[in-house]
Amino acid sequence: MLALEGVVFGRSAAFRLTVDSLRVEPGERVTVLGPSGSGKTTLVRLIAGLDLPDRGEIYLEGRPVNRRPPHARPISLLAQDLGLWPHLSALEHVAFARACGRSLRATDADRDLLACVQLADRAAARPHQLSGGERQRLGMARALARRPKLLLLDEPFSNVDPVLAAELHGILDDFHAQWHLTRLQVRHWTFGAPRADERFLVVRGGAIVQDGTWAELRNHPLDPWVERLVSLAAH
């Protein structure tokens, strides 16, 4: 599904992201874990096409995509800054995203998607008329509207309360199972109980220093730093 080969981003000595080789299979659930400034968001932006690598190639479904703009990639990004459009209703957000900006005409599928995120009765509301939790749901619906092959999550729920965050992750889990989504998510330190099928990439100083399941990280950490990170993340 996704591959990065020889990717380098950043010419300054202050920060450089290097990914020698990374492959993510269809349907995988991958969590990128590491402290602030380690390169997690940079990795996501490169995959999404918001930044371009200085060297190397990114592949989606076996095809190079460095020259393809974000809207031409089968990817959706849900970030902490939702970036909702203030002049569009909730339903128009979904319709516009599904049509890649070509139309605001809604379909039954758009309405069904709003219902799945519990916004069926808020279809006509604009972002300023929605609660914080409703805006989070709308951001999720917009990201899912294109039925992406790869869903990127850059800590979108880090500023919401734990109960709502768990509920939103549960909705994403349902879509992950139904649509066989490939999912790559960034997290800082803390999260809920890790899943047995979840794969973790530990990032430090612009490099992936360990790749494995939670059990592998816990039982065979690369070094004391990874051991401490895993200990902190589990609480």
Q: How high is the pLDDT of residue 87?
A: 95
Same domain flag for 65 and 162: yes
Mean pLDDT of the chain: 91
User: pLDDT tens for residues 144-164?
Assistant: 998 999 999 998 888 888 888
Same domain flag for 156 and 227: yes
The residue ranking higher by pLDDT, 147 or 101, is 147
Instruction: Place 189 in a pLDDT band, splitting at 50, 70 and 90.
Output: low
Same domain flag for 59 and 162: yes
Burial 120-136 (b: 16+ CB within 10 A, else e): eebbebbbeebeebbbb
The answer to whether residue 169 is domain-embedded is yes
β-strand partners of 126: none
Percent pLDDT > 70 in the chain is 96
CA distance 202 to 35: 9
Q: How many CA atoms lie within 13 A of 225 on its CB side?
A: 9
Task: Return the beta strands (E) in the chain as ranges.
Answer: 2-9, 17-24, 29-33, 55-60, 63-64, 75-79, 150-154, 182-187, 198-204, 207-213
Average the pLDDT over each of 9-23, 122-136, 188-202, 206-220 and give the range with the smallest value.
188-202
Same domain flag for 186 and 136: no
8 Å CB contact between 213 and 33: no
The answer to whether residue 79 is domain-embedded is no
Same domain flag for 158 and 226: yes
- Find the domain containing 58 and state its range: 2-74+148-233
User: pLDDT tens for residues 14-30?
Assistant: 789 999 999 999 999 99
